[in-house]
Structure 1
Amino acid sequence: MRQEHALSKLISDPPQSDSYDLEPAAPAKQPEATRIAVRGHILFTFVILLLLALAWKLTKELEILYVSALFAVVLMPIVNSISKLQIRGRHPSRPVSILILLVGVILAFTLFFTFGLPPVLRDLREFTTELPQRIPAVVAKLKRIPMADHIGIESVAQRTEGALSATAGYLFTSLPAWLSHMFDILTALFLCVYFMLEGEYAYHFFLSLFSREHRPRLNQTLLKADVKMSKWLLGQGLLMLILGVASIVVFGILHVRYFLLLGVLMGLFNIIPVAGGIFTILLAALVAALDSWTKMAGVLIFYAIYLNIENGFLIPRIMRSSVNLMGLTILVSLLIGTALAGIVGALVAVPTAALITVLLEEYVVQKA
């Protein structure tokens, strides 16, 4: 009886021991979780491929969108400066400030296309026509220099003539093609205005895609990149304008042929460090040499003086130490931007390089 009682108690109240596994169903759940994870990875990969295909299909539209957003970021400091002005005791609102900026830009472009562009195109047409006829005169002058025959003056002149003629012809013939994209330019202009009006909402939505602990660091990094892009673009534009105006004035005083065209090229190519200045000053010196060695010497002396003024006075005060893009970075970004998107790519190449540089310095570069 005692044995039967002990056996029934053992069955009804089993001993609590670690040898018993009371949850045998846990391993059975693992395959189901694995299947869910695999399906999630497949779906994520499919979505990424679909987005890449959509981006490839909408390359042009994304390009316009990116250019508009970038220029809105660069122009916002100007809008903020205008909004701080007092007009009849009131500060203009953001829409009014944007309107004032647009009116100023449209007025500047109107003056340029009305008074500035026609003389430049006339000089470009004459330069393209007269260059093949004047190269032999320059070669004859250069042959008088000692040891000129040993460096192949004629072959160098022929190659230079072909390169300059091809460049000038491309600039002249491709201008109508650039102007044919007026619809894209207007679209980018309207998008830029909307970004300046409502860009803060889009920016906060972009930050909301990241976790809360990562948002402050990303926000500070993007604000730093914004300052760097704006200062570089505005500063470089001012340096290009100064060099272009100074070149036009000096070349005009020296009575250099096509001085308007050469001054514009001097300003435009100043965006390319070292190489742009060397190319344009050699071109200006060659054109001046078509008339006399005195004009050529005047052009070279002017550029030498300006280069010292720019490096010693203008760049330290315009660019400041906060804008420290290396010349190699600028050159590589211009090459890549031009190869990917032509003129538009060249316009946004350096600001994009500034953005990438700030992101790399913050998240990739290992600081000691």
Structure 2
Amino acid sequence: MVAAAESGHDGAIAQPHSADEGGPIIAAEAAAAAARTAENPLGRPGRRFDRRSPFMIGMAGAAGVAVTYGAIQTVLAAGEVLVLITIALFLAIGLEPAVSWLVRPWFPRWAAVTAVFVVAIGLLAGFFAAAIPPLITQGTALAHDAPGYLHHLAQRYPVIGTMDTRFHLQDRLRHGLGTDPSTLAGGVLGAGKLVFSIISGTVIVAVLTGYFMANFAQLRAATYRLFPRSRRPRAILIGDEIFVKVGGYILGNLLISAITAALTFVWLLIFDVPYALLLAVLVAALDLIPVVGSTVAGIIVALVALTVSLPVTIATIVFFVVLRLVEDYVLVPRIIGRAVQVPAIVTVVSVLLGAALLGIVGALLAIPVAAALLLIIRETMLPSLDAR
């Protein structure tokens, strides 16, 4: 037997180890043992390959094509999982300011991460526990009564009656909501799959968010180490600024959405508009989508308010217009600040592209991604182009 310390052979690998394995290997292992030092336990890096050799150029080109093709196939095959990972990463970045704010010499990071994660999960679980029963009740009632409401509106307002006659709105509504007996079984099955998908996706996102939060410092350091040493300080300054912008936007957007939902809920209760909680939650979800979300929410709520009376509908429309102005000129500057401002045309284009690529998730993440790209372009590309 050849001693592991003398040969450089790890004692936990390929035992029993003997000289019968071959002279060249034994000699290489002895050289490996001599190359091991305290500073470089795995030996010093060897001489770099000649990148200009025809072989290396060909290998690099072939590897680039293979990696690109493999990356495309991976994205297509794991699209849903990548979306969940992206959501979790953005949530972790959004919660990072709260974690960093809590960290003190007497309050370590792991405790701050635990506190923020437990509070966030507790608030979410408490909301679901309190809201799901009435949401299910109101959602079921709305799905059951929606065709009747539409029939009532068609009789009450001639314009809606004409549209119903021409486009068969009641039949389409029954079919879409699954209240048609011919599609009821499929609707129930589809609803079950949707609920399971939402629950499983929420659990996966929560677990991934916890892992990203707990290892955010290591992920940040690993990301910056990918840059050359000469460019690393600049990358840290730009990267941290991006993290601050994205985190502030996500936290602020969630807070603004909760405020608009609460105000909508109070308004609907005052005027006795049905399904107040369901509509408030819908407003909160749609308000997260930039540009069009609050407008779509206002239209839906106004249509439901139409079942009460025309004056209430008009008042509700005015309420949403005022709410949008308050959100744009009061809440957003005070809560999110002006650091994440993106030009209007870039906002619209980014939201449309995000929605086309990743659906609602893409629309939600479009503005922080656009803000990050604008910052990178402003700090890296434009100075280089201006200097030429």
- The equivalent of 1:296 in structure 2 is 313
User: Aligned in 2, Cα 1:43/1:67: closer, same or farther, shift over 3 Å?
Assistant: farther
Residue 93 (structure 2) pairs with residue 73 (structure 1)? yes
- The equivalent of 2:107 in structure 1 is 92
Under a length normalisation based on structure 1, what TM-score does the superposition of the two structures give?
0.75
Residue among 289, 293, 302 paired with 1:272:
289
Residue among 292, 296, 301 paired with 1:284:
301
Q: Distance in 2 between matches of 1:40 and 1:158?
A: 67
Give the stretch that moved more between structures: 95-104 or 298-307.
Answer: 298-307
Aligned AA for 2:270? I
Aligned AA for 1:177? L
Does structure 2 conserve the Cα–Cα contact (< 8 Å) formed by 1:270 and 1:277? Answer: yes
SS state of the match for residue 364, structure 1? helix
| TM-aligned CA deviation for residue 64 of structure 1 | 4.3
Residue 68 (structure 2) pairs with residue 48 (structure 1)? no
SS state of the match for residue 157, structure 2? helix
Residue 268 (structure 2) pairs with residue 251 (structure 1)? yes
- The equivalent of 2:45 in structure 1 is none
1:250-282 deviation line (CA, Å, top 9, x unaligned) = 101110011111111122211234422222212
- The equivalent of 2:54 in structure 1 is 38
- The equivalent of 1:112 in structure 2 is 127
User: Aligned in 2, Cα 1:319/1:171: closer, same or farther, shift over 3 Å?
Assistant: farther
Identity among equivalent pairs (%): 23
| TM-aligned CA deviation for residue 69 of structure 1 | 3.1
Q: Distance in 1 between matches of 2:259 and 2:50?
A: 65
Does structure 2 conserve the Cα–Cα contact (< 8 Å) formed by 1:71 and 1:192? Answer: yes
User: Aligned in 2, Cα 1:252/1:141: closer, same or farther, shift over 3 Å?
Assistant: same
1:91-113 deviation line (CA, Å, top 9, x unaligned) = 32111111111211221122122
User: Aligned in 2, Cα 1:160/1:335: closer, same or farther, shift over 3 Å?
Assistant: farther
Larger Rg: 1
- The equivalent of 1:217 in structure 2 is 234
User: Aligned in 2, Cα 1:322/1:118: closer, same or farther, shift over 3 Å?
Assistant: same
- The equivalent of 2:17 in structure 1 is none
Does structure 2 conserve the Cα–Cα contact (< 8 Å) formed by 1:247 and 1:263? Answer: yes
Residue among 209, 219, 234 paired with 1:192:
209
Q: Distance in 2 between matches of 1:217 and 1:49?
A: 30
Aligned AA for 1:209? L
Does structure 2 conserve the Cα–Cα contact (< 8 Å) formed by 1:76 and 1:196? Answer: yes
Q: Distance in 2 between matches of 1:161 and 1:280?
A: 23
SS state of the match for residue 235, structure 1? helix
Does structure 1 conserve the Cα–Cα contact (< 8 Å) formed by 2:94 and 2:246? Answer: yes
Q: Unaligned stretches of 5+ in structure 1? A: 1-32, 85-89
SS state of the match for residue 53, structure 2? helix
Does structure 1 conserve the Cα–Cα contact (< 8 Å) formed by 2:147 and 2:174? Answer: no
| TM-aligned CA deviation for residue 213 of structure 1 | 2.2
Q: Distance in 1 between matches of 2:373 and 2:300?
A: 34
User: Aligned in 2, Cα 1:363/1:107: closer, same or farther, shift over 3 Å?
Assistant: same
Residue among 117, 132, 135 paired with 1:102:
117
| TM-aligned CA deviation for residue 315 of structure 1 | 2.1
Does structure 1 conserve the Cα–Cα contact (< 8 Å) formed by 2:294 and 2:324? Answer: no
1:304-360 deviation line (CA, Å, top 9, x unaligned) = 332333233222211222120245544444444444444554554443333223222
Q: Distance in 1 between matches of 2:264 and 2:175?
A: 22
Does structure 2 conserve the Cα–Cα contact (< 8 Å) formed by 1:273 and 1:327? Answer: no
Does structure 1 conserve the Cα–Cα contact (< 8 Å) formed by 2:340 and 2:368? Answer: no
Q: Unaligned stretches of 5+ in structure 2? A: 1-48, 180-186
- The equivalent of 1:237 in structure 2 is 254
User: Aligned in 2, Cα 1:190/1:261: closer, same or farther, shift over 3 Å?
Assistant: closer
Does structure 2 conserve the Cα–Cα contact (< 8 Å) formed by 1:254 and 1:298? Answer: no
Q: Distance in 1 between matches of 2:346 and 2:190?
A: 31
Does structure 2 conserve the Cα–Cα contact (< 8 Å) formed by 1:72 and 1:195? Answer: yes
Q: Distance in 2 between matches of 1:164 and 1:362?
A: 54
1:207-250 deviation line (CA, Å, top 9, x unaligned) = 22222222222221111111111111111111111110110111
Q: Distance in 2 between matches of 1:154 and 1:187?
A: 43
| TM-aligned CA deviation for residue 187 of structure 1 | 4.2
Q: Distance in 2 between matches of 1:352 and 1:171?
A: 37
Give the stretch that moved more between structures: 235-244 or 112-121.
Answer: 112-121
- The equivalent of 2:323 in structure 1 is 306
Aligned AA for 2:100? N
Residue 146 (structure 2) pairs with residue 127 (structure 1)? no
User: Aligned in 2, Cα 1:317/1:124: closer, same or farther, shift over 3 Å?
Assistant: same
- The equivalent of 1:352 in structure 2 is 369
- The equivalent of 1:7 in structure 2 is none
User: Aligned in 2, Cα 1:171/1:217: closer, same or farther, shift over 3 Å?
Assistant: farther
Residue among 71, 75, 78 paired with 1:59:
78
Aligned AA for 2:97? P
Does structure 1 conserve the Cα–Cα contact (< 8 Å) formed by 2:269 and 2:276? Answer: yes
Aligned length: 326
